[in-house]
């Protein structure tokens, strides 16, 4: 199976994937602190977790990732998953790895798997529609920063 849980030795690759995704989305100045990110993911009280996708037959290469945390729906009364970032490197796309990552997330919860997507991402919209995912009508996301 080309999807596995990330381990602390993956921190450089995880941060590089996040930075590559930022460049892909035209944000060229993102540079992450590896030690700080390692603490958030693999420290004594992890705040998030990562799944790594590897190309079939090449388990030591990293093709993409899903960066996640748990959430909880009071109305459903059960936990779900917040997918903060899903990225497959361009050379590995169209081989089913995005689907594999999302299937692995779906298998980890009986609750909702939710995420945001930038408006106008037609390829993303088509991909998520193919999975059976739908936009949430009537909801607007707010963000409050320090």
* pLDDT tens readout for residues 68-105: 999 999 999 999 999 999 999 999 998 899 999 999 99
| Per-residue pLDDT reduced to its tens digit, 13-64 | 999 999 999 999 889 999 999 999 999 999 999 999 999 999 988 888 999 9
Which residues participate in catalysis according to the annotation?
Answer: 128
pLDDT at 57: 85
The domain ranges of the chain are 3-131
Cα separation, 12 vs 47, whole angstroms = 18
| The pLDDT of residue 1 | 58
**Whole-number Å distance between alpha carbons of 102 and 17:** 17
Q: What are the CA-CA distances from residue 137 to residues 115, 130, 141 (Å)?
A: 14, 18, 11
Q: Please tell me the class of the 3-131 domain.
A: alpha beta
Question: How far is residue 136's CA from residue 120's CA, in Å, rounded to a whole number?
Answer: 16
Tally the residues of the chain: 146
State the Cα–Cα distance between residues 23 and 98, nearest whole angstrom. 19
Q: SS3 for 114?
A: strand
User: Helices 34-42 and 11-24, interaxial angle, to 10°?
Assistant: 110
């Amino acid at each position: 199976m080309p999807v596995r849980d990330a381990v602390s030795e993956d921190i450089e690759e995880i941060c590089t994937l996040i930075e590559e995704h930022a460049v892909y989305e035209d944000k060229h100045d993102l540079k992450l602190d590896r030690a700080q990110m390692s603490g958030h993911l693999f420290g004594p009280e992890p705040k998030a977790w990562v799944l790594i996708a590897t190309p079939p037959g090449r388990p030591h290469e990293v093709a993409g990732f899903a960066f996640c945390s748990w959430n909880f729906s009071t109305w459903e009364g059960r936990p779900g998953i917040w997918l903060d970032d899903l990225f497959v490197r361009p050379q590995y796309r169209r081989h089913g790895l995005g689907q594999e990552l999302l299937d692995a997330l779906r298998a980890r919860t009986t609750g909702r798997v939710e995420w945001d997507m930038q408006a106008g991402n037609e390829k993303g919209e088509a991909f998520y529609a193919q999975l059976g995912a739908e936009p949430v009508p009537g909801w607007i996301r707010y963000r409050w920063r320090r």
